Structure 1
Amino acid sequence: MMIADPHDPRLDDVRDLNKSDKSGEGLVIAEGHLVVSRLVASRFPVRCIVGFASKLEHYVDIYGDPGCPMYEVSRETLAEVAGFDMHRGLVAAADRSTPLEVAEVIQDAQTVVVLEGVGDHENIGSLFRNAAGMDVDAVLLGAGAADPLYRRSVRVSMGHALRLPFARFDGGFTTWQRSLALLADAGFHLVSLTPDEDAVHLADALEGHAKIALMVGAEGPGLTEHAMRATHVRAQIPMAPGTDSLNVATAAAIAFYERQRSFR
């Protein structure tokens, strides 16, 4: 259905994307063919897909009927509605679903990652993308972890934040760690990543364990002492002289790879 009027209320779900995040309205936003397709295939009910005629036709040719309203707009109309020139030419909005519980996402998991204080949305997106590519079964969010469904997180994750199960622990910075007992009780070996030279080598920390929970902290401060005390072992990634740390998503990716290697 063609919409020429940028003020048409049917376009409200994708309005002013450059000024505010739609998560505050209970929405999830996906941009581009691949991410939109992952939104449609996810547990989040899609409200509409908006795009250029060629992009909508291409989407249907590749993925079929999405089962939701599809609105055709010009590039100029979409730019006015979204607040910037959306060159990808395709955007979708969905409702949020009921949040998953920790017990639910770890039920059949063998490898999970736990995030504490990771507040940067691009890091969150990168972590989800890395986790999805390296056989991590779920992401668990401790205190201070940003929203994986924030528009930038979804975009950077290439839509994997919509596919990979995640759940949030209850509690603040000094209390959420108590819930890590749920993982220990479920048989997970809890490993906290730290640049501390006294920590064991990452490979040694992972060896021989069927179920692993890898925990990473924010850029700079890293994991709190409260969090590390709640794990079984503290592990380090050996670094070259003169360096002491990596970007959190990069460090996590190395840990995910080492887990893959040791688990096979």
Structure 2
Amino acid sequence: MTSTAGWIPVTDVADARIEEFVGLRDHELRRRREAPGGDMAGIFIAEGDLVVERAIRAGYRVRAVLVDARRTDPLPAALDAAVPVYAAGEDVVLKITGMAMHRGLIAALDRREERSVAEALAGATRAVVLENVSNPTNLGVIARSAIGLGADALLLDPSCCDPLYRRASRVAMGEVFALPWARTKRFPEGIDQVTDAGFSLIALTPERAAEPIDDVVLAPDEKVALVLGAEGPGLTEETMARVGRRVRIPIHHGVDSLNVGAAAAIACYVLGRGRP
């Protein structure tokens, strides 16, 4: 879609045609709107050309696109010409997003039916399992690191944030759309779903008594899941007890821990060593 001729001008944030985009500045409000039972259930928002294009190529259907009316760049080639494109003035864009979106775009897309844990793990030998990772930025970093460094699946307990949340997918540069993911049952019961699928577990922790991650050696076809907790509190005691094997990243100069996204990247690299 290269021409602006078919774009639909929008001058009022209250225009019903762009109602799906309203509320993006209030993260909690938007979370409630997109949650099951909310008025926007079944819809998610993606931001940026690359992220939207990767969502389309992963099979998600675009409902509508909102662009800055000043945009001159062509829209992503993967975007169907039948999708309505609303061109908003600067004041409308600011009220919706809180920022000047010059040359940018946001898209409303339909969710798909979520995979089961068994479906997400089918054919996988490396998985990343998250407990209570509620920060979308951290989740986005973890998802991008996981797929880029060889993980085949991402599992989230019910307390984790939505991987399709726009900040998470933006930070992940849209890579989360290509990574099979699923929700587990609440931990520690959800951990059993992973072990029942034949995966051994490794918990990442800053504890000094834990095994150095440099010592971890895995066969390429060994089925292993890396278990990570939230920034700060880490994994709960119940989950740590269920996992058993604990590994740590050696840290210097008195630093007590790393950001969970950075730690996940290091650990995913180690888990992916030796894989084709």
TM-score, normalization: structure 1?
Answer: 0.87
Q: Which range is displaced more, 9-18 or 75-84?
A: 75-84
Paired positions, count = 259
1:160 lines up with 2:166 in the alignment = no
Which structure has greater helix proportion? 1
Q: Which range is displaced more, 80-89 or 108-117?
A: 80-89
Q: Distance in 2 between matches of 1:245 and 1:81?
A: 37
- Which residue number corresponds to residue 128 of structure 2? 113
1:1-264 matches, cutoff 5 A: 1-6=7-12, 7-19=14-26, 20-21=29-30, 23-24=34-35, 25-26=40-41, 27-52=43-68, 55=71, 58-60=74-76, 62-63=77-78, 65=80, 67-171=82-186, 176-208=187-219, 210-263=222-275
Relative to 1, partners in 2 of residues 1:80 and 1:108: Cα closer, same or farther, differing over 3 Å? same
Q: Distance in 1 between matches of 2:96 and 2:264?
A: 37
2:9, 2:69 within 8 Å by CA — same for their partners in 1? no
Q: Deviations over 1:207-236 (max 9, x none)?
A: 336111001111222111211222251111
TM-score, normalization: structure 2?
Answer: 0.84
Q: Deviations over 1:163-222 (max 9, x none)?
A: 322111122xxxx22232232232212100111122112233343361110011112221
Residue segments in structure 1 that go unaligned for 5+ positions in a row: none
Q: Distance in 1 between matches of 2:255 and 2:69?
A: 50
RMSD: 2.3
Relative to 1, partners in 2 of residues 1:55 and 1:188: Cα closer, same or farther, differing over 3 Å? farther
2:69, 2:90 within 8 Å by CA — same for their partners in 1? no
Residue 30 of structure 1: SS of its match in structure 2?
strand
Q: Which range is displaced more, 242-251 or 17-26?
A: 17-26
1:210, 1:263 within 8 Å by CA — same for their partners in 2? no
Read off the aligned partner of 2:11 and give its amino acid letter.
D
Residue segments in structure 2 that go unaligned for 5+ positions in a row: 1-6
